[in-house]
Structure 1
Amino acid sequence: MLQALGLGPAEEAIYTALLARPTASAQDLARQTGLDKAESMRILLDLAARGLVAVATEVESGALDSADCEAGLRPAHYRLTPPSVALAPLLVEQRNALHQAETAFSMLTEQYRSTAAHTAGGVVEVVVGVEQVAHRFHQLQRGAQRELLVFLVGAPIAVPREDTDTSESSALDRGVDFRVVADKNYLDSHDVVRDVRAAVTAGVELRLVDSLPLKMVVSDRERAMVPLDMADSGGEPSAIVVHRSGLLTALVHLFEKEWAQARPMYTSATGVREEPAADQQPTEEELEVLALLLAGISDRRAASQLGLSIRTVERRIRRLMDLAGVESRLQLGWHAARAGWL
């Protein structure tokens, strides 16, 4: 927590240990943190120089007098300076540094686009090699603040599936809208299904199509990355990074078109499945039969109550079993409860 304000791990350990007690000596803190006494003393002196801790008064430390401390009869005790006083300047420094970094980022981005405008029109950047492609892919995911749009096609080449988990989690934690359209063949691997199920559970919106024209990731509708044919780069993985342009607009439009036509997916105890279409859901009439069946009423009595023939009741039960993909009425009842049919 305090490392974000410029304190190292050992300094944070001493600071938080001192936070839990009114005063303490270097030896006390060394014993509590596992650091040696000399290191604890060095850190305390450094924190004192930065105004984060102070030497405790005689009353606070219980010392007989300051001369005793200087003579080594009683080790010096330290106390924290109130965090609201001591840490506030560090927080301001960090905020100023972040503001300066954001300004520098904007200037460098504009300078790059200005320079690139004389070479490739400032639109397309070619990236070649496994490390470079993976690096730019993670930059796009980690830099997203609002939205990530992804096409998943075929087996990963430059960026292994397990290497994307951290970037995905970070984006979801930031509240990024994460939408994915997957080629149905992408889910053929058991390991991929397991990872995709975890991603959907975490908040990724997933839809499925029979085929996609390309693999792609779009970050905040400002940058996109599309792989190139490895035959064009000497057999090495390569990609193009597309910046704001008509080409990027076309890629976003392509995503939205595929997204609108794709089939939504949902997670279940057995994996990731397509959301059933309307004609694959039970009708109200079929659910009436199901309710009576689960109540223990026989087919003949159910037919009588609903004003149907017994063959109609049996036909509706058979269709319910087909929809559920089960072979017995007991399994049908179990599936109906899980699927929320009643």
Structure 2
Amino acid sequence: MLEALGLGPAEEAVYTALMAQPTASAHELARQTGIAAAEIARILADMETSGLVSVADQPDRKESGPAGQQTGAQFVRYRLTPPSVALAPFLVEQRNALHRAESAFSVLIEQYRDTAVQSAGGVVEVVTGTKQVAHRFHQLQHGAQRELLVFLVGAPVAVPRADTDLSERTVLDRGVDFRVVAARDYFDGPDVARDMREAITAGLELRLVDSLPLKMVVSDRERAMVPLDVAGSGAEPSAIVVHRSGLLTALVHLFETEWAQARPLHTTSTGIHAEPKADQQPTTGELEVLALLLAGFSDRRAASQLGLSIRTVERRTRRLMDLAGADSRLQLGWHAARAGWL
């Protein structure tokens, strides 16, 4: 816990041991932590200099005993300085260090942009090989500060789904706005629906389309990666990394266009389901069929009641299921009630 503030494991062990008691000597702390008494004495001296502890009791015993005999220094008792006072400077220093790192990061990016040749070589990087493509993918995801935009298509090639799921959780934990448009074939793999359901619960926004033109990840609208290899070609995985340019702007526009037309996915106790498109609603005739089906009528009885052919009832039912993104009539009924169709 305290390593994040710049303290080492031994210092944290001593600090934690002292926190559980009003005062303690180096000899007592050595017994509690398993660290040698001489090392404890050195750590306490450093912590006293840093203001983390203070001397609570200084005995009159002189440090003149024979080798191996406990000296007066080992009987000096220490107490913790209140954490709100002692640890505040460490926290400030860590914040300042992070700020300096972010500033250096920004300067390096700007220097790279200033010195890069304004040509295809300065705008687009070509990455080849499974390991290299996976590494750049994780760089884009973990480097995102504000937003990630992703197209998911088919089975992954360079980055296993398990690694992708871990990256998603890390990004969501940092509060990054994470939006994904997935093609239907992405859900063909085992356990994909379960993993995506967990991601949605964690805050990922997911929408569904029938197909997408490409796979893609866009990080903070500053960088994007698009695979170059054709699925099933057997070629070594490769991708292009696009930096800020008109091409990147076009990729972001493509994402927003697909996002606006895609169906939002939400989780229920039975899995992930797509909401009907906002601009598509059932017709009066389709709602008549739906009402009878929900009342328990068979297709044949519904057709007879409405004076329609069975094929027409089946066609209207199929369109209702498409509008609702439902895979069964049971799901259709749930969506109809949720959307207020009846």
TM tier relative to shorter chain:
0.7 to 0.9
Q: CA deviation at 1:283?
A: 5.9
Q: CA deviation at 1:212?
A: 0.8
1:117-163 CA-partner distances (Å, limit 9, x unpaired): 25645311122222222222112112212211100012112111111
Number of residue pairs aligned between Structure 1 and Structure 2:
310
Of 60, 76, 79, which aligns to 1:66?
60
Within-5 A mapping of 1:178-327:
178-229=178-229, 235-276=235-276, 278-279=281-282, 311=305, 325=328
Q: Which amino acid aligns with 2:178?
A: F
1:73-115 CA-partner distances (Å, limit 9, x unpaired): 7722221233344323323322322222122112211111122
- The answer for unaligned runs of 5 or more in structure 2 is 66-70, 298-303, 307-313
Structure-2 residue corresponding to 1:12: 12
1:173-199 CA-partner distances (Å, limit 9, x unpaired): 222211101110010112212211111
CA distance 1:35–1:117, change in 2 (3 Å)? same
TM-score (norm 2): 0.76
- Give, in whole Å, the separation in 2 of the partners of 1:55 and 1:49: 11
Structure-1 residue corresponding to 2:96: 96
Contact 1:230/1:238 (8 A) holds in 2: no
- Give, in whole Å, the separation in 1 of the partners of 2:226 and 2:20: 53
1:214 partner SS? coil
Within-5 A mapping of 1:70-149:
72=71, 75-117=75-117, 120=120, 122-149=122-149
Contact 1:209/1:262 (8 A) holds in 2: yes
Q: CA deviation at 1:311?
A: 5.0
- Give, in whole Å, the separation in 1 of the partners of 2:10 and 2:338: 53
Q: CA deviation at 1:226?
A: 0.8
Contact 1:69/1:75 (8 A) holds in 2: no
CA distance 1:34–1:167, change in 2 (3 Å)? farther
Q: CA deviation at 1:217?
A: 0.4
Q: CA deviation at 1:230?
A: 6.8
- The answer for unaligned runs of 5 or more in structure 1 is 59-64, 300-309, 313-317
- Give, in whole Å, the separation in 2 of the partners of 1:97 and 1:340: 51
* Stretch of structure 1 that moved more, 269-278 or 201-210: 269-278
CA distance 1:340–1:103, change in 2 (3 Å)? closer
Q: Report the identity percentage.
A: 67
- Give, in whole Å, the separation in 2 of the partners of 1:215 and 1:57: 67
Structure-1 residue corresponding to 2:311: none
- Give, in whole Å, the separation in 1 of the partners of 2:332 and 2:184: 27
Taking only aligned residues, the RMSD between alpha carbons, in angstroms, comes to 3.9
